[in-house]
Amino acid sequence: NLSDRLERSFKILKGEGKITEINVAETLKDVRRALLDADVNYKVAKSFTDEVKRKAMGMNVLTAVKPGQLMVKIVHDELAGLMGGTAAELKLEGRPAIVLMSGLQGSGKTTFSGKLANMLKKKNRKNPLLVACDVYRPAAIEQLKVVGESVGVPVYSEPDNKDVVAIAGNAIREAKAKGYDVVIIDTAGRLAVDEEMMNEIASLKEAVNPDETLFVVDSMTGQDAVNTAREFNDRLDFNGVVLTKLDGDTRGGAALSIRTVVTKPIKFVGTGEKMEAIDVFHPERMADRILGMGDIVSLVERAQEQFDEKQARELEKKIRKNKFDFNDFMAQIQQIKKMGNIKDLAAMIPGVGKAIKDIDIDDNAFKGIEAIISSMTPKERTNPEIINQSRRMRIAKGSGTNIQEVNRLLKQFDQMRKMMKMVTSMDSSRMMQMANM
Ligand code: GDP
Ligand code: MG
């Protein structure tokens, strides 16, 4: 996936302090390719990578974060920002509030109408009314009725009337009379954009003056989705997009393209055929999906929050001089604990992380270790060499552990120091090698 690719192409960068034009070019090629793979429109992908480049250039790379990971985060944040940053709300102010569905046939309008009614019923709106304005196929009205029944929402329909403007008007009157506070109008689509359909939906929009006109689009249609969105938007100037069928293996690139091309927010996503399969659109999550990454972004964020770069440098210096002591060790444990899962995070701490990982200290091991270190005198912490047999006994007693545990920790600590020294001297000799080349 993309985050793996980014990290791979950035391996070469490790140890460099800044992201520069040369080392960013290769990666951005990868980013662009991945975006295209994810159905993002070519032009959108191009301007996107240009923007990422502008942001990434000259950025300082924390010692705690690999440049590849930082790039992933920049790309992620940029993606999320482009898709709207935060989730967009429905504005339902009318009494009744009116929601008009638009979109091609099969995009999921009828299904989404039911999902939305169901959601509103459970949330702020208690009393929605569904309106059948897909009048060309008898089966369409029937379908909406089935949907309505399954979520317990009534459906207004006029089987013999083909005048959708009249039907919608009657439905709104009925809603006012009977106290329905939101009217959701399901409409007919065509297999492709055509004049007749556009005229109908446009006149419907003008007649009912909806609070929300939503454009429903099948995310699996990829590039076509962008063109369809543009045509509907030119004609309807809709308020928001509903991206359906995101439950498949579509990568969601259409979201980015549509958002960029029509500059209208994506408000909901459909994630299945069931009435519960509706989600408010979260740009962050879609960015994750497009990047195909796990929690690497939050990992980087946590590390950036918790990790003091200066402290890390000092620590590295100490390690090089073999001055790493129990105070440092304790500080590291606290830091790791703050950051969460040690297994994932250990590798992020230069030198120390590697060593701890190799010795394989797990989360539970910390309790005893902390108790033992706390029972050491300041002198013992800075000079572990002086901890002889009688001191060990005293520490064991004071910490509520036993002599074996104290011995084990001291042995591990000694091992760790040796390993750290090895790791750091290895790194510096490698650096010398590279410098010579
Ligand atoms: P319409 O012609 O725009 O009204 O589209 P429909 O609501 O009839 O949906 C067309 C097909 O897509 C139906 O078989 C739905 O069950 C299916 N569908 C709609 N939304 C989703 C979704 O989010 N995920 C999946 N997997 N199927 C969906
Ligand atoms: Mg339909």
ipTM: 0.99
pLDDT in tens, 271-328: 899 998 898 888 888 887 777 654 445 555 555 555 566 666 676 777 767 778 888 8
Report how far apart, in Å, the C-alpha atoms of 357 and of each of 80, 190, 209 are.
33, 59, 62
Cis check for the bond before 67: say yes or no (omega within 30 of 0): no
User: Does residue 19 fall inside a structural domain?
Assistant: yes
- For residue 271 and ligand 1, the question of a CB distance below 6 A is answered with yes
Q: Do 123 and 251 fall into the same domain?
A: yes
Mutate to test the pocket of ligand 1, among 135, 187, 241, 273 (most ligand atoms within 8 A of CB): 273
User: Does residue 231 fall inside a structural domain?
Assistant: yes
pLDDT at 306: 54
Ligand nearest to the CA of 104: 1
Strands 266-270 and 240-244 come out as: parallel
pLDDT at 308: 60
β-bridge partners, 268: 242, 280
pLDDT at 436: 39
> Which of 58-62, 120-124, 348-352 shows the highest mean pLDDT?
120-124
Q: Do 275 and 143 fall into the same domain?
A: yes
d(CA 265, CA 281): 9
Sequence-distant (≥ 6) Cβ neighbours of residue 65 within 8 angstroms: 300, 303, 304, 307, 348
- For residue 233 and ligand 1, the question of a CB distance below 6 A is answered with no
- For residue 111 and ligand 1, the question of a CB distance below 6 A is answered with yes
Residue 172 identity (one-letter amino acid) = I
- Band of residue 354 on the pLDDT scale cut at 50, 70, 90: very low
Task: Tell whether the model's pLDDT for residue 188 goes beyond 50.
Answer: yes
pLDDT in tens, 155-173: 999 988 999 999 999 999 9
pLDDT at 417: 79
CATH number at residue 377: 1.10.260.30
Closest approach atom of ligand 1 to CA 248: 26
251-275: b (≥16 Cβ within 10 Å) or e? bbbbbbbbbbbbebbbbbbbbeeeb
Task: Tell whether the model's pLDDT for residue 419 goes beyond 90.
Answer: no
Consult the annotation and say whether 247 binds a ligand.
yes
Q: Do 201 and 324 fall into the same domain?
A: no
- For residue 106 and ligand 1, the question of a CB distance below 6 A is answered with yes
User: Does residue 289 fall inside a structural domain?
Assistant: no
Report how far apart, in Å, the C-alpha atoms of 371 and of each of 67, 275, 357, 396 are.
37, 53, 21, 9
Q: Do 259 and 357 fall into the same domain?
A: no
Q: What range does the domain containing 23 cover?
A: 2-86
pLDDT at 335: 67
Share of the chain above pLDDT 90, in %: 39
pLDDT in tens, 376-399: 999 999 999 999 999 999 999 999
- For residue 270 and ligand 1, the question of a CB distance below 6 A is answered with yes
Q: Do 266 and 347 fall into the same domain?
A: no
pLDDT at 1: 54
Name the token pair of 176.
């006012």
In this predicted model, which residue has the larger pLDDT, 86 or 276?
276
Tell me what the mean pLDDT of segment 246-260 comes to. 77
Residue finishing a domain among 42, 64, 86: 86
Tell me what the mean pLDDT of segment 404-408 comes to. 93
- For residue 94 and ligand 1, the question of a CB distance below 6 A is answered with no
Tell me what the mean pLDDT of segment 218-240 comes to. 89
Tell me how far the alpha carbon of residue 160 lies from the centroid of ligand 2, in angstroms: 18
- For residue 273 and ligand 1, the question of a CB distance below 6 A is answered with yes
Tell me what the mean pLDDT of segment 66-71 comes to. 66
Sequence-distant (≥ 6) Cβ neighbours of residue 205 within 8 angstroms: 100, 213, 236
- Band of residue 333 on the pLDDT scale cut at 50, 70, 90: confident
Residue finishing a domain among 86, 106, 123: 86
Q: Is the dihedral of CA 142, 147, 150, 156 positive or negative?
A: negative
Q: Do 132 and 76 fall into the same domain?
A: no
Q: Do 123 and 252 fall into the same domain?
A: yes
pLDDT at 240: 95
Q: Do 103 and 76 fall into the same domain?
A: no
Name the token pair of 341.
């899962």
Residue finishing a domain among 234, 266, 281: 281
Q: Do 137 and 259 fall into the same domain?
A: yes
pLDDT at 58: 64
Q: Do 317 and 413 fall into the same domain?
A: yes
User: Does residue 277 fall inside a structural domain?
Assistant: yes
Report how far apart, in Å, the C-alpha atoms of 251 and of each of 27, 37, 44 are.
20, 8, 16
Closest approach atom of ligand 1 to CA 186: 4
Q: Do 170 and 197 fall into the same domain?
A: yes
Tell me how far the alpha carbon of residue 158 lies from the centroid of ligand 2, in angstroms: 16
User: Does residue 296 fall inside a structural domain?
Assistant: no
User: Does residue 300 fall inside a structural domain?
Assistant: no
Q: Is the pTM of this model over 0.95?
A: no
Q: What is the 3-state secondary structure (H, E, C) of the chain?
A: CHHHHHHHHCHHHCCCCECCHHHHHHHHHHHHHHHHHCCCCHHHHHHHHHHHHHHHCCCECCCCCCHHHHHHHHHHHHHHHHCCCCCCCCCCCCCCEEEEEECCCCCCHHHHHHHHHHHHHHCCCCCEEEEEECCCCHHHHHHHHHHHHHHCCCEECCCCCCCHHHHHHHHHHHHHHHCCCEEEEEECCCCCCCHHHHHHHHHHHHHHCCCEEEEEEEHHHCHHHHHHHHHHHHHHCCCEEEEECCCCCCCCHHHHHHHHHHCCCEEEEECCCCCCCEEECCHHHHHHHHHCCCCHHHHHHHHHHHCCHHHHHHHHHHHHCCCCCHHHHHHHHHHHHHHCCHHHHHHHCCCHHHHHHHHCCCCCHHHHHHHHHHCCCHHHHHCHHHCCHHHHHHHHHHHCCCHHHHHHHHHHHHHHHHHHHHHHHHHHHHHHHHHHC
User: Does residue 291 fall inside a structural domain?
Assistant: no
Least confident of 89-98, 228-237, 278-287, 425-434: 425-434
Task: Count up the domains in the chain and report the number.
Answer: 3
Consult the annotation and say whether 248 binds a ligand.
no
User: Does residue 219 fall inside a structural domain?
Assistant: yes
d(CA 257, CA 261): 6
Consult the annotation and say whether 287 binds a ligand.
no
208 near 168, Cβ under 8 Å?
Answer: yes
Residue entry with tokens 């989600």: 279
98 near 205, Cβ under 8 Å?
Answer: no
> Which of 34-48, 189-203, 278-292, 349-363 shows the highest mean pLDDT?
189-203
Mean pLDDT rounded to a whole number for the chain: 79
- Band of residue 118 on the pLDDT scale cut at 50, 70, 90: very high
Tell me how far the alpha carbon of residue 418 lies from the centroid of ligand 1, in angstroms: 62
CATH number at residue 185: 3.40.50.300
pLDDT at 357: 45
CATH number at residue 49: 1.20.120.140
Ligand nearest to the CA of 105: 1
Q: Do 136 and 232 fall into the same domain?
A: yes
Which residue puts its alpha carbon closest to atom 12 of ligand 1? Answer: 108
- For residue 239 and ligand 1, the question of a CB distance below 6 A is answered with no
- For residue 114 and ligand 1, the question of a CB distance below 6 A is answered with no
